[in-house]
C-alpha cells in the first residue's frame, strides 16, 4: 500500500468552514430582524412563522442565540455565551456542506465537524492561533485517515485503506513522506524509508 499520495489530500471542506462568518455576528434590531415576519393563522394560533432572522436574548437583553440567513451563504444557527461571544454554530454552506463549529471563550474557532455533499465526513482541530493541528476524515470509499500537524504542516498520519489495511506515515518539513509502516494482505508488516525527494532508500523486510 502506497501511503504517500494520500497525505497530500487535506479535508479542506471542513477547515474552510472554520473561518469566516464575521458578518453573521452583527445584532440586528427587532424591527430589522422581524420586519418581514409573516404569520399563517389557523383560528387564533399561529402555525408557521416566516422570517429572515430570529434573535433570542436573555433577561438583560444580551443576544444568546440567532437563527438567520448569512447573506447568500445559507442558513445558520449560532449560540453565544453571557459575554456575547459566539461559542457554537451550525450551518449549511452553498456547496452543500453541513458543518458545526465550536469556539473558545475569545471567539476563536478551534473545532469543526462537517459532512460534504458527496458523503465525506471530516473533523478538524485548531490551536488558539487557528493553526490546523489534527484532522480526521473518511473517503468516499470508506477509508479513514488521521493526520497530525505542527506549525508548518502535516507531520504524521494513520491510514486504513478501503480493503482494511492499516498504515502509518511520517513526513518531513516539506510534507514528503520519509517513513511508512504498513500491514499487507499476508499479515506481515513492512517498513519503507524515503529520502528528502521521495525516493526509496531502504526498508524492512
What DSSP string describes 124-137?
EEE-TT--EEEEEE
How far is residue 161's CA from residue 99's CA, in Å, rounded to a whole number?
A: 25
Work out the pLDDT band at 162, boundaries 50, 70, 90.
confident
The answer to whether the peptide bond before residue 205 is cis (omega within 30 degrees of 0) is yes
| Per-residue pLDDT at 13 | 44
Sign of the Cα pseudo-torsion (20, 24, 27, 32, in order): positive
| Per-residue pLDDT at 9 | 37
The C-alpha cell at 116 is 460534504
How far is residue 180's CA from residue 134's CA, in Å, rounded to a whole number?
A: 19
Q: In residues, how long is the chain?
A: 205
Q: pLDDT (tens digit, 9 = 90+) per residue, 40-77?
A: 444 566 788 888 899 999 999 999 999 998 877 789 99
What residues pair up with 114 in beta bridges, in sequence order? 99, 122
Three-state DSSP class for 22?
A: helix
How far is residue 179's CA from residue 194's CA, in Å, rounded to a whole number?
A: 6
For the structural domain made of 4-21+53-204, what CATH number should be given? Answer: 3.90.930.1
DSSP 148-192: EE-SSSEEEEEEE-TTS-EEEEEE-TTS-EEEEEEE-TTS-EEEE
Contact status, residue 47 vs residue 40, Cβ threshold 8 Å: yes
Q: pLDDT (tens digit, 9 = 90+) per residue, 79-109?
A: 999 999 999 999 998 888 999 999 999 999 9
Contact status, residue 177 vs residue 4, Cβ threshold 8 Å: yes
| Per-residue pLDDT at 83 | 94
How far is residue 77's CA from residue 92's CA, in Å, rounded to a whole number?
A: 10
Domain spans in the chain, listed from the N-terminal domain onward: 4-21+53-204
Amino acid at each position: 500500500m502506497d501511503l504517500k499520495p494520500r497525505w497530500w489530500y487535506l479535508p479542506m471542506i471542513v477547515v474552510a468552514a472554520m473561518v469566516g462568518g464575521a458578518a453573521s455576528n452583527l445584532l440586528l434590531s427587532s424591527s430589522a430582524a422581524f420586519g418581514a415576519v409573516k404569520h399563517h393563522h389557523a383560528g387564533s394560533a399561529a402555525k408557521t412563522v416566516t422570517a429572515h432572522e430570529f434573535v433570542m436574548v436573555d433577561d438583560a437583553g444580551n443576544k444568546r442565540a440567532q437563527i438567520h440567513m448569512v447573506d447568500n451563504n445559507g442558513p445558520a444557527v449560532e449560540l453565544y455565551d453571557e459575554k456575547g461571544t459566539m461559542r457554537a454554530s451550525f450551518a449549511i454552506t452553498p456547496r452543500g456542506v453541513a458543518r458545526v463549529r465550536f469556539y473558545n471563550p475569545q471567539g476563536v474557532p478551534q473545532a469543526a465537524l462537517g459532512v460534504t455533499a458527496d458523503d465525506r465526513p471530516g473533523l478538524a482541530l485548531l490551536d488558539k492561533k487557528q493553526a490546523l493541528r489534527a484532522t480526521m476524515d473518511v473517503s468516499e470509499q470508506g477509508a479513514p485517515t488521521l493526520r497530525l500537524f505542527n506549525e508548518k504542516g502535516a507531520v504524521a498520519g494513520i491510514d486504513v485503506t478501503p480493503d482494511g489495511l492499516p498504515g502509518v506515515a511520517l513526513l518531513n518539513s516539506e510534507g514528503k513522506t520519509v517513513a511508512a509502516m504498513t500491514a499487507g494482505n499476508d499479515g506481515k508488516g513492512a517498513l519503507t524509508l524515503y529520502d528528502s525527494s521521495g525516493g526509496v532508500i531502504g526498508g524492512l523486510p
